[in-house]
Structure 1
Amino acid sequence: MRRLVLIRHAKSDWGDEGTRDHDRHLAERGRHDAPRMGAWLQAQGLVPGLVLCSTATRTRETLALMLPEWAEQPQVEHRAELYAAAPATLLKAARESGAESVALVAHNPGIGALAAQMAVAAPEHPKFRRYPTAAITVLEFDEAMAAGRGRVLAFAVPKDL
């Protein structure tokens, strides 16, 4: 069994037009939502053993706010190739990690598209296809991580909590 946790960064701040996209921080709402989503993962017993995180400021901040909510601290790797990555790049990183339980903290449209591609069936949640900020999908695979082979164990967005 392998598990893949797909986390979109929490709501970012668009207030400073001079800030490069890579360097945008979380908005107040994002700083509120990220720890709540981390606590949700902990309560579900779905905290990953390895987290691969984009190097963008907003993904790093999202993860930093989730980590204190987890009883067991995962190994964390920050990866530049995950910034604004396509689904194929994200999947390659997860597969090559070799971890039984790996999370990706990344960006839309890639992370949402990957969730849709990997699921055997989309969850009956009105926001799954939109994949809003701080959305999390947890998929489980009997064999290799392959498109259309993941069972959705859980999906949530901050408004669900």
Structure 2
Amino acid sequence: MHELILLRHAEAQPAKPGVEDSVRRLSRRGEQEARAAGDWLKKHGKKPDRVLCSPSERTCATGTLALAALERAPAMQTAKEIYNATPGELLVLLDKHLDASTVLLIGHNPGIERLVALLVEGRSNEFRGMPPAGLAVLHLDGPLEPGNARLDAFWSP
């Protein structure tokens, strides 16, 4: 893997009492944010070989709307490991996809923002925040290990 693109799901509707968190849908603003993330990826020539997505409603909707902007986007693969994942759990999942040149992972905070910190800074407690629909583009010159990535771009709507 040479490039890892991390996308936090776009703004979701508020949680409702008694309703599972995983079925929360995107808000109207979230739908716009997800489309804007896709437009940013297209404008910057980002072409993922593989797309891994948490199975929650809001992450799948974010991925679907963002990928619609790209020509010949790969099929989105859901991975239950992404939901509520720690940076370590995300690294275990990504280790299974090292054969892809560019991976787009769509997930949740705090896992996404802590993964950025772990890969760039070497420590997951150095996170700076990842807003809804925020994108972090990481370049890897070597193995997928803490402190071994360079943050090439950070975008938020």
TM-score (norm 2): 0.91
SS at match of 2:68: helix
Aligned length: 152
Q: Quote how far apart the aligned CAs of 1:120 are.
A: 5.0
SS at match of 1:69: coil
Instruction: State the alpha-carbon separation in 2 of the partners of residues 151 and 51 from structure 1.
Output: 20
Q: Which amino acid aligns with 2:150?
A: R
Q: Quote how far apart the aligned CAs of 1:2 are.
A: 1.0
State the partner residue of 2:117.
116
Instruction: State the alpha-carbon separation in 1 of the partners of residues 18 and 58 from structure 2.
Output: 16
Can you list the C-alpha shifts for 1:130-153, whole angstroms capped at 9, x where unaligned? 211111100011111111111111
SS at match of 1:137: strand
Give the RMSD, CA atoms, in angstroms. 1.6
Instruction: State the alpha-carbon separation in 1 of the partners of residues 70 and 155 from structure 2.
Output: 17
Q: Is 1:106–2:107 an aligned residue pair?
A: yes
Q: Quote how far apart the aligned CAs of 1:15 are.
A: 5.6
Q: Which amino acid aligns with 1:133?
A: P
Unaligned runs of 5+ in 1: 122-127
Written as runs of structure 1 = structure 2, the 5 A alignment for 1:11-160 is 11-14=11-14, 16-98=16-98, 99-119=100-120, 129-158=128-157
Q: Which amino acid aligns with 2:156?
A: V
Structure 1 vs Structure 2: percent identity of aligned residues? 37
Q: Quote how far apart the aligned CAs of 1:47 are.
A: 2.6
Instruction: State the alpha-carbon separation in 1 of the partners of residues 19 and 63 from structure 2.
Output: 21
8 Å Cα contact 1:52/1:78 also seen in 2: yes
State the partner residue of 1:3.
3
Instruction: State the alpha-carbon separation in 2 of the partners of residues 46 and 153 from structure 1.
Output: 12
Can you list the C-alpha shifts for 1:48-91, whole angstroms capped at 9, x where unaligned? 11011000110000001011100121242101111111111111
8 Å Cα contact 1:10/1:30 also seen in 2: yes
8 Å Cα contact 1:2/1:145 also seen in 2: no
8 Å Cα contact 2:15/2:24 also seen in 1: no
Instruction: State the alpha-carbon separation in 1 of the partners of residues 147 and 130 from structure 2.
Output: 18
SS at match of 1:97: coil
Q: Quote how far apart the aligned CAs of 1:29 are.
A: 0.9
Instruction: State the alpha-carbon separation in 2 of the partners of residues 110 and 42 from structure 1.
Output: 25
TM-score (norm 1): 0.88
Change (3 A) 1:87 1:15: closer
Instruction: State the alpha-carbon separation in 1 of the partners of residues 67 and 81 from structure 2.
Output: 22
Unaligned runs of 5+ in 2: none
